[in-house]
Amino acid sequence: MPNLEQSLERERLAKIPYVTNDAHSDRQGVLLSNDIKAYIDEFNLINPFCSANLKPAGYELSVGNEYVLGGDHHYLDSAGEDQEIAIPPFQVAFIKTKETLNLPSFLIGRWNLRVHWAYKGLLWVGAAQVDPGYVGHLFCPLYNLGHQVVYVRREERIALIDFVKTTKFKPGESQQYVRPPTRPTLSSFGLKDQKSALFTEIRGLVDEFEKKIQKLENQVRLFGSLSFTTLAILVAAGAAITGFKDVPANSLNAVAIVLAAFALVAWLLEFLRNHRTRMSDRLESKIDEIRSESFFRIDRTENAQATAIEALKSRLDEISGAVDKASLQKSSPPHDEE
């Protein structure tokens, strides 16, 4: 059931006019900056608009004021100190864009993460297309596959979107996007229990490793205490038996026992250090294995999407060619038979 926040957002979006008439129907293809600006002025294609974010054939979207990380919902202050998102390694953050989009019936949006963030280790695998008629903020998951924390500040440019013209919208025939969307806010996606499986598995391996190390350290401390206690008892017993009559011999025996005990403790410490190194190597190997598997799945998904897009483009080209041929035949005057 929608909460108050979702209801208020749906009311806000319902007041934004839905545009179906294209005043620039003669312009086709990917919109250039002047056309993007023209549609912004006509019906608030992007709101708020910042001229610095306008690119030759697209617009850079910025980070909004809320996000979900590790299943917890957070808000960023507009003027306070809390103005950035810290995404730990192997974690995923779901963010909201600052801008509200108002797509008409004749435009689609295509958006993706800026390359700048990919170099920092962030990755986004999501739906690249925004349907014609969509209205509202955009939401996307950001995965940190790097080994360092990535910081993303509020209103920082995060993604690039471009706009492409569609074929003519036909009322009653073309499927219309339902406005306003059923999930208009970040909280409506039910992300409370959404946590990175990669992060959870790595965290489990680290916790297991730390527990084993702690157990070994406790065993070594216990063995060291028992060894020195036993040594003290042996020295005291030797002194009591001999009555300290032969001091040099007892001293040599005590020194030999102490040296043997220290050698044993040193060997145990070296064993612990080697075991810690082996465990650390196993952990790093497991992390690399999981990271490689993640990239493989991502590549496989992107390849499947690319194949589907190419097949769709090929089919559209065939349909366009058939339409052009039919139009040419229809417009050609009939030939009189002699």
Residue 316 maps to a domain? no
Structure tokens at 246: 């032969």
pLDDT at 296 exceeding the cut of 70: no
Higher pLDDT, 203 or 334: 203
Question: What are the CA-CA distances from residue 142 to residues 109, 151, 159, 180, 186 (Å)?
Answer: 19, 12, 11, 25, 14
pLDDT at 337 exceeding the cut of 50: no
Q: How is the chain split among helix, strand and coil, in percent rounded to 5?
A: 50, 20, 30
Residue 334 maps to a domain? no
- 203 with 174, same domain: the answer is no
Number of other CB atoms surrounding residue 138 within 10 Å: 22
Listed residue (150, 153, 155, 128) closest to 50, CA to CA: 155
In this predicted model, what pLDDT tens digit does every residue of 96-131 receive, in sequence order?
999 999 999 999 999 999 999 999 999 987 667 999
Instruction: Determine which of 42-51, 168-177, 239-248, 260-269 has the lowest per-residue pLDDT on average.
Output: 239-248
Q: What is the DSSP string of 129-189?
A: EE-TT-EE--EEEEEE-SSS-EEEETT-EEEEEEEEE-SPP-TTTSPPPPSS-S--SGGGG
Listed residue (175, 50, 177, 171) closest to 109, CA to CA: 177
Structure tokens at 209: 């490793």
Domain end position, chosen among 143, 174, 194: 194
Domain end position, chosen among 194, 209, 236: 194
2/223 Cα distance (integer angstroms): 61
In sign, the C-alpha dihedral spanning 189, 191, 197, 199 is positive
- 161 with 249, same domain: the answer is no
pLDDT value at residue 241: 57
- 186 with 237, same domain: the answer is no
- 39 with 174, same domain: the answer is yes
pLDDT value at residue 124: 85
Residue 338 maps to a domain? no
pLDDT at 50 exceeding the cut of 90: yes
pLDDT value at residue 21: 92
What is the residue type of 168? K
Residue 284 maps to a domain? yes
pLDDT value at residue 335: 46
pLDDT at 242 exceeding the cut of 70: no
pLDDT value at residue 257: 62
Buried/exposed code over 147-181 (b: 16+ C-beta within 10 A; e: otherwise)? eeebebebebbbbbbbbebeeebeeeeeeeeebbb
Map residue 108 onto helix, strand or coil: strand
92/331 Cα distance (integer angstroms): 57
What is the rounded average pLDDT for all residues in the chain?
80
- 52 with 159, same domain: the answer is yes
- 267 with 185, same domain: the answer is no
Residue 315 maps to a domain? no
Listed residue (73, 67, 117, 123) closest to 96, CA to CA: 67
In this predicted model, what pLDDT tens digit does every residue of 260-288 receive, in sequence order?
666 666 677 767 777 677 777 777 777 67
Listed residue (25, 34, 26) closest to 56, CA to CA: 34
106/22 Cα distance (integer angstroms): 7
- 52 with 184, same domain: the answer is yes
The CATH number that applies at residue 75 is 2.70.40.10
Map residue 23 onto helix, strand or coil: coil
- 8 with 62, same domain: the answer is yes
Residue 107 maps to a domain? yes
- 110 with 92, same domain: the answer is yes
3-state SS, 209-254, equals HHHHHHHHHHHHHHHHHHHHHHHHHHHHHHHHHHCCCCHHHHHHHH
- 22 with 114, same domain: the answer is yes
Domain end position, chosen among 294, 309, 331: 294
pLDDT value at residue 260: 67
- 80 with 205, same domain: the answer is no
Which residues span the domain enclosing 62? 4-194
User: What percentage of residues in the chain have a pLDDT greater than 70?
Assistant: 60
CA atoms within 13 A on the CB side of 271: 10
- Beta strand pairing call for 58-69 and 92-97: antiparallel
The answer to whether the CB of 64 falls within 8 A of the CB of 96 is: yes
Residues whose CB falls within 8 Å of the CB of residue 121, separated by 6 or more in sequence, listed in order: 89, 144, 145, 146, 147, 148, 150
> Domains in the chain: how many in total?
2
Residue 20 maps to a domain? yes
In this predicted model, what pLDDT tens digit does every residue of 163-200 receive, in sequence order?
999 998 888 899 989 999 999 999 888 887 666 666 56
